[in-house]
């Protein structure tokens, strides 16, 4: 069953994301974990990409505009066969091909260099526009952060996508309700993303961002072209899937203490058990 397959993919991505960050010893736990289910659905079903035809111009494109979610993307690309497991554990080490923010010139499978927030969504819009001009029948997926949407550039990109009717662009907003310094509502209230994106000319839905089924269904619906760009607001939890991290107030960038490590190690062990027989990479 597909949903079982995607749910397993999510567990795999979460497992390797945690192991990768454990190897480094610190990093962007919260915002990496909240996009795991979305990555599982995009790469597990919709993107139609693997290491073998990564240069096919008709491929689907994925841009992680919230670049600090890099560790989750790297775990996903490893699972898709872009590099071996030992590469995964070089995250942020000197001379690595996996810098904390994705770099198209360093990491196989990364389409666009992101990290300076707001720029990835513009680039993804450019990719979708370029593909539309070329008459290609593919989709561009872009995950933007809820905090990232503070950046005015995102809203410039949305205006462009809407004006040019980029129905081949599917934007997923990781609404985990927290940014670096705290709750988005306290720092700069985002108001209602569905209302805002709708007002900008997108077809917009809000779904449970921890449910692979809900995300999959939303993407399927988004592909019913109606001449509008598509937005899916993912109702997520920062640190999603690891209860201990979910409950930690300050989980954007963590330098775990002893107690934290105990909980993280336990989460890794539990995932390992659940994935017994699957982790045969």
Count of chain residues binding another protein (CB under 8 A): 33
Residue 238 φ then ψ, to 5°? -65, 125
Direct distance between the N- and C-terminal alpha carbons of the chain, in angstroms, rounded to an integer: 21
Determine which helix (DSSP H) or strand (DSSP E) holds 130, and give its type and residue range.
Answer: helix 119-133
Regarding 280 and contact with another protein (CB under 8 A), the answer is: no
Q: How many CA atoms lie within 13 A of 115 on its CB side?
A: 12
- Give the range of 38-46, 71-79, 98-106, 195-203 binding another protein by CB under 8 A: 98-106
d(CA 21, CA 264): 10
Residues 112-151 vs another protein: string with x where CB under 8 A?
A: xx-xx-xxx-xxxxxxxxxx-xx-----------------
Task: Return all residues near 12 (Cβ < 8 A) that are at least 6 apart.
Answer: 40, 75, 79, 275, 278, 279
Q: Choose between 163 and 223: whose C-beta lies nearer to another protein.
A: 163
Buried b (16+ CB within 10 A) or exposed e, 158-168: bebbbeeebbb
Regarding 105 and contact with another protein (CB under 8 A), the answer is: yes
d(CA 123, CA 114): 9
Shortest Å, Cβ 64 to another protein: 14
- Give the range of 48-56, 154-162, 188-196, 260-268 binding another protein by CB under 8 A: 154-162
Looking up tokens 């561009």 gives 140
HEC readout, 176-206: CCEECCEEHHHHCCCCCHHHHHHHCCCEEEE
- Give the range of 32-40, 159-167, 198-206, 270-278 binding another protein by CB under 8 A: 159-167
Q: Choose between 22 and 164: whose C-beta lies nearer to another protein.
A: 164
Q: Choose between 25 and 130: whose C-beta lies nearer to another protein.
A: 130
Shortest Å, Cβ 229 to another protein: 14
Regarding 172 and contact with another protein (CB under 8 A), the answer is: no
- Give the range of 25-33, 90-98, 104-112, 188-196 binding another protein by CB under 8 A: 104-112
Which residues form the interface with another protein (CB under 8 A)?
57, 61, 63, 103-105, 111-113, 115-116, 118-120, 122-131, 133-134, 152-153, 156-157, 159-160, 163
């Amino acid at each position: 069953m597909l949903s079982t397959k995607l749910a397993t993919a999510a567990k795999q991505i979460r497992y390797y994301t945690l192991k990768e960050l454990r190897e480094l010893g610190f990093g962007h736990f919260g915002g990496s974990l909240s996009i795991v289910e979305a990555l599982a659905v995009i790469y597990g079903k919709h993107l139609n990409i693997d290491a073998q035809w990564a240069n096919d111009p008709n491929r689907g494109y994925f841009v992680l505009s919230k670049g600090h979610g890099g560790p989750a993307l790297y775990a996903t690309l490893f699972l898709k066969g872009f590099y071996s497991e030992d590469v995964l554990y070089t995250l942020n080490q000197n001379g690595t091909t996996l810098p904390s923010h994705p770099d198209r010139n360093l990491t196989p499978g990364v389409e666009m260099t992101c990290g300076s927030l707001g720029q990835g969504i513009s680039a993804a819009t450019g990719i979708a526009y370029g593909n539309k001009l070329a008459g290609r029948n593919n989709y561009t997926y872009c995950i933007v952060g809820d905090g990232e949407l503070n950046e005015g550039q995102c809203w410039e990109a949305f205006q462009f996508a809407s004006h040019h009717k980029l129905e081949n662009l599917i934007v997923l907003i990781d609404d985990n309700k927290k940014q670096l310094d705290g709750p988005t509502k306290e720092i700069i209230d985002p108001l209602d993303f569905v209302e805002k994106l709708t007002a900008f000319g997108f077809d917009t839905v809000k779904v449970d961002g921890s449910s692979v089924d809900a995300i999959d269904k939303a993407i399927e619906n988004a592909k019913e072209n109606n001449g509008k760009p598509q937005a899916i607001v993912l109702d997520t939890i920062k640190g999603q899937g690891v209860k201990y991290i979910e409950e930690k107030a300050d989980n954007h960038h963590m330098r775990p203490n002893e107690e934290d490590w105990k909980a993280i190690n336990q989460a890794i062990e539990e995932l390992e058990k659940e994935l017994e027989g699957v982790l045969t990479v």
